[in-house]
Amino acid sequence: MSDLTRSMEATGAGAAARVEQQRRALPNGVWGMALLIATEAALFGTMLASYYYLRFQTSQWPPPGIARPEVLAPAILTGILVATTVPMFLAARAAGRGHARAAMWLLLVAALVQGGYLGVQIHLFLSDLHKFSPGQTAYGSVYFTILFLHHVHVFVGIALVLWLAGRLIGGLTNYRLTATRAIAFYWYFVNAMAILVVLTQLYPSL
């Protein structure tokens, strides 16, 4: 027992990577994130189920006067966002091997793409608002609510990535390594939800 890892003493890159390799179970921080994701997935699940519940209670969807959603831009955007899974995965792997700098740069690349995605999405959201409003029909209500929920998750994800990249400037610790794994995990979830959200958003045109 005396040779057991005291995780918090791992304040250098090598020591943090060693703790990571010796550990047999997922660290508490990653478990916490997994459960946050579980409850968030249930939130998205009930929101998306509500969309289809409302849809199948009516014959015309979208209602008369509202055009079917454009497919191309949201589909391409989602593809770009989902592609950030790669730098997030690589960042977690680099951190796990003790490469703080590499992890930080990968996170910044991801944040740049994610930020661009969010910017264009907000533009599309506002231009949709000019065409039809959430206060007009239930279709508009559920359409804008689900998109907004997704965008909030992207915003929170970017904030987490930037915060983490800032911490990594000071090098790697056990705490930051666990944070990298947890935040990468969060982004896998956001990206998976992005696919479900865009499929639902474009559903009337598919």
Partner 1 sequence: MAVVATPEAQARVERLERIWTERPGLLGWLTTTDHKRIGILYFFTTLAFFAAGGIEALLIRTQLLGPNGQVLDPAAFDQVMSMHGVTMIFLFAVPISTGAFGNYLLPLMIGARDMAFPRLNALSYWLFLCSGLFMYVGLISGNGPGAGWFNYVPLALKAYSPGPGIDYYALGLIFTGISTTATAINFIVTIFKMRAPGMSLNRMPLFCFAFLAVSFALVFALPALSTALIFLELDRLLGFHFYDPVNGGNTILWQHLFWIFGHPEVYIIILPAFGIATSIIPTFTRRRMVAFPLVALAEILVAFIGFGVWAHHMFAVGLSTITDIYFAAASLIIVVPSAIQLFAWITTLVTGRPTFKTPLLWIVGFIVLFVIGGLSGIMFAAIPFDQQLTDTYFVVAHFHYVIFGAAVFPILGGMYYWFPKVTGRMYYERIGQASFWLSFVGMNLTFFPMHIVGLLGMPRRQYTYPSGLGWTGYNLVESIGAYLLAAGLIMVVANLAVSRFRGARVGNDPWGGDTLEWATTSPPPPYNYAVIPKVSSPYAMWDREDREQDALRLAQGRQVLEQGHETPVTTVLDADWDEIVDMPSDSPWPITFALATSGIFAMLITQHFVTAAAFCGLALLVLAAWHNREPQEA
Q: How far is the CB of 57 from partner 1 (least distance, A)?
A: 5
Interface residue with partner 1, options 4, 72, 126, 169 (CB under 8 A): 4
Is 40:189 a contact under the CB 8 Å cutoff? Answer: yes
Is 33:185 a contact under the CB 8 Å cutoff? Answer: yes
Q: Is 192 in the site for partner 1 (CB under 8 A)?
A: no
Interface residue with partner 1, options 32, 65, 116, 119 (CB under 8 A): 32
Q: Which residue in 43, 69, 27 sits closest to 201, CA to CA?
A: 69
The Cα–Cα gap between 184 and 175 comes to 14
Q: How far is the CB of 69 from partner 1 (least distance, A)?
A: 16
DSSP per-residue codes, 39-51: HHHHHHHHHHHHH
Stretch near partner 1 under the rule CB under 8 A, chosen from 37-45, 121-129, 183-191, 192-200:
37-45
Stretch near partner 1 under the rule CB under 8 A, chosen from 30-38, 76-84, 91-99, 101-109:
30-38
DSSP code at position 66? -
Q: Which two tokens stand for residue 86?
A: 């790669």
Interface residue with partner 1, options 77, 100, 147, 176 (CB under 8 A): 176
Is 194:48 a contact under the CB 8 Å cutoff? Answer: no
Q: Is 129 in the site for partner 1 (CB under 8 A)?
A: no
Q: Is 35 in the site for partner 1 (CB under 8 A)?
A: yes
Interface residue with partner 1, options 21, 23, 70, 73 (CB under 8 A): 23
Residues 6 or more apart whose Cβ sits within 8 Å of residue 197: 44, 48, 146, 147, 150
Binding site for partner 1 (CB under 8 A): 1, 4-9, 11, 19, 22-25, 27-28, 31-32, 35-36, 38-40, 42-43, 45-47, 50, 53-54, 57-58, 63, 134-142, 145, 159, 163, 173-176
